[in-house]
Every structure is written in C-alpha cells, then in structure tokens.
Structure 1
Amino acid sequence: MVRVLLALDDNIPQAHAQTNAVEDLIGGEEGVTVYILHVFSDNPEGASVQQVEAVREAQERLEEAGAEVQLLETSGSPAEEILRHAEEHDVDRICVGGRKRSPTGKALFGSVTQQVILDTHRPVLVCGSTEEE
C-alpha cells in the first residue's frame, strides 16, 4: 500500500503539475491512497476543501487513475500542517509545489517547501508549475 500526501493551494497550473507527478508516481499501482491537503490561510466565509477548483480537478483525475482519494482541510501554517498531516497519516511521500523564482532565488526553495524538506524524514517530491494546455 502506498500513501501520498498531495499538498495543493488554489493555483491550477501548479495543481496540474503536481497531479501529473503523482499519477506518474503511482502508475496504475493498486492500493494507493492519496491524501489531498489544502491549508486555508484565511477562511472567514468557512469555505470547504471541495470548493477549491484545483482540489476538485486533482481528486477527479487521481480517482480515474485508480487511487483512493481522501480530502483534508485545515488552516494555519502551511508547512507545519503539511508535516503534521504527513505524520498523522503515515504517508510514504509528500508532494509539494514549487514557484518560479528569480535567478538569485533559484538557489533556495520557497519557505514552505524548504521547511517541509528540512523538517521531515519522508521523501518530498517538488513539482514546478506547468503552463495550461
């Protein structure tokens, strides 16, 4: 059984890149569970994870690929919540998104990605964004 934590924000091209990577990773394997996590930074209207388009699209594609998908939502520090859910669900891998950076900024990952990489013993898959096709 393979368990993957897919941490998505609301950037659709980024979610497509991450979903592509997870589809490649699971490659039709049976017994795969993908936990899709969305961390709300500010949610005064009480939106749910099912209202995030990037999450809905990823869920649909991964279920079509044969994965069991569980949606998770929380608020707080994205890196801390990603790490907490990775531990709680005992995932085998964490998939996070990367951001375009300036030439100088390319030497470092974004703060969330960097914190996740440095503060876990689990493999972390970092995906760059794709252009809409």
Structure 2
Amino acid sequence: MYHVVLGVDEDEQRAESAAREIANLPGGSDEKRVTLIHVFQDNPSGASATQVASVRDAEEVLKAAGVDVSISEASGDPADAILELAEEDDADLVVVGGRKRSPAGKALFGSVTQTVILNAGRPVMVTGVPTEA
C-alpha cells in the first residue's frame, strides 16, 4: 500500500481533478491510502476541513473509487503544512494542484506548488484543471 498526501485548497474543480488523478494511479484502490489536507490561513468562523466543499468533493471522488481516505487540517503556511504532514506520515507521494497563470506567471508555479516541489524530498505530482473543449 502506498500513501498519498493531497493538498486541497478552496477550488472544487482542482480538488476533484487531483482526486481523479490519484484514483487513476497504477494499482488497485485497496493499494492506496490518501490523506487530504486543507490548510486554513484565515478561519474566523472556526470551520473544520470537513466543512470545506473542495475537501468534501475530493473525498467523494476517492471514496467512489474505493480508496481509503482521511482528512487532516492545519493552520498557517499551506506549503509548510503539506510538507510537514508528508514527512510525519512518510508519504510516498505528494499531490498538489496547479493553476493557470498569466504570461508572466507562467515562468513560475504558484508559490505553494513551487515550495512543495522544491522542498518535498519525495515525489510530487502536480495536477491541473482540464480545459473545456
């Protein structure tokens, strides 16, 4: 069994796309375990990660595929929290979602994605959102 840590922000489409890509990784659903992590940078209402629509959507996609899913939450810097969880849980793979950028922004990944890629010390998969035909 291998363990995947998926960083989930508020974008529902990006979360669902990443979850589908994880479900489609080689091996059966019983060979994968996924921890979804949502990092709150500002949470005045005291919400939990299970109340975030994108987290629920990713969980639903993975459970429908028969993948074992757990949910984690943290506060602070998203990249640091994702990297810390991946290290603590000795994850085999970290998955983060990419996003479209302006022409100037295309030279760099988003700051969270870039930080995770550069500092993970383990494989990182970057997923995108499919463009509409």
TM-score (norm 2): 0.92
Extract unaligned runs of 5+ from structure 2.
none
Aligned to 2:99, the other structure's residue is in SS state: coil
| Alignment-derived partner of residue 122 in structure 1 | 122
Extract unaligned runs of 5+ from structure 1.
none
1:51-88 deviation digits (Å, cap 9, x = unpaired): 01111111122112121111001110000000000001
| Alignment-derived partner of residue 4 in structure 2 | 4
CA distance in 1, matches of 2:20, 2:63: 13
How does 1:87-106 map onto structure 2 within 5 Å? 87-106=87-106
Structure 2 residue 64 is matched with structure 1 residue 64: yes
| Alignment-derived partner of residue 17 in structure 1 | 17
CA distance in 2, matches of 1:110, 1:56: 23
CA distance in 2, matches of 1:31, 1:24: 12
TM-score (norm 1): 0.92
Q: Deviation above 3 Å: which 4+ runs of structure 1?
A: none
In structure 2, do the counterparts of structure 1 residues 26 and 6 end up closer, same or farther at CA, with 3 Å as the change threshold? farther
**38-47 or 26-35: bigger deviation:** 26-35
| Contact 1:96 1:126 (C-alpha < 8 Å) held by counterparts | yes
In angstroms, what is the RMSD of aligned CA positions?
A: 1.7
| Alignment-derived partner of residue 108 in structure 1 | 108
Q: Which amino acid aligns with 1:48?
A: S
**86-95 or 12-21: bigger deviation:** 12-21
